Amino acid sequence: MLHTIQSFLNSPKYARARMWILGVLGTLVIFQAGMAVGYHKARFMEFGGPRGDMRFPRNFFDEGKSSHGARGTIVSINLPTLVVAGFMNDERVVTVSGKTMVRTYDGVASTSDLRVGDSVTVLGKPNDNAQIDAVFIRVMQNPYASTTPAQ
């Protein structure tokens, strides 16, 4: 009996079957790894990613005193405050300080570089006046802006 098992384990049929099974298992592992990478890339894109449309989880920019951020268009600037109108025209007052980081889509900026009409995403902390104390402001590239100068 032991001799029969040893001869089967040393046979070419068993070697081919073993290689086939290992190949199938290896293929399944590679596909699973690809699915995991795709899932994480999709999750990254859901939270902003390089597309520039900045999607955030539901209620991240909620209405109310406890909101930790705002996104939309700057409608007025009177430093150290600015007003950001959201996509449904809800206006949020944002306060900036010397510690506020301002970034553009391709580099570093400052609060003096902010302009009325800029599309921004603001992350910060709510204060007692229902304003957002900005920690980080990202100036988004306006996808509708013309690349040719006005004449």
Could you read off the pLDDT of 40-61 as tens digits, one per residue? 777 665 555 554 455 555 555 5
Same domain, 75 and 135: yes
**Confidence category of residue 143, pLDDT binned at 50, 70, 90:** low
Distance CA 140, CA 70 (A): 13
- Least Cα distance to 83 among 73, 96, 93 occurs for 93
Distance CA 14, CA 7 (A): 10
Name the domain count of the chain: 2
| Domain CATH for 132 | 2.40.50.320
- Judged by average pLDDT, the poorest of 38-52, 81-95, 103-117, 127-141 is 38-52
Same domain, 79 and 29: no
Give the domain extent around 101: 69-140
Residue 134 lies in a domain: yes
Same domain, 84 and 124: yes
Q: How many percent of the chain have pLDDT more than 70?
A: 77
pLDDT tops 80 at residue 66: no
Which two structure tokens, joined as six digits, stand for 141?
């590239």
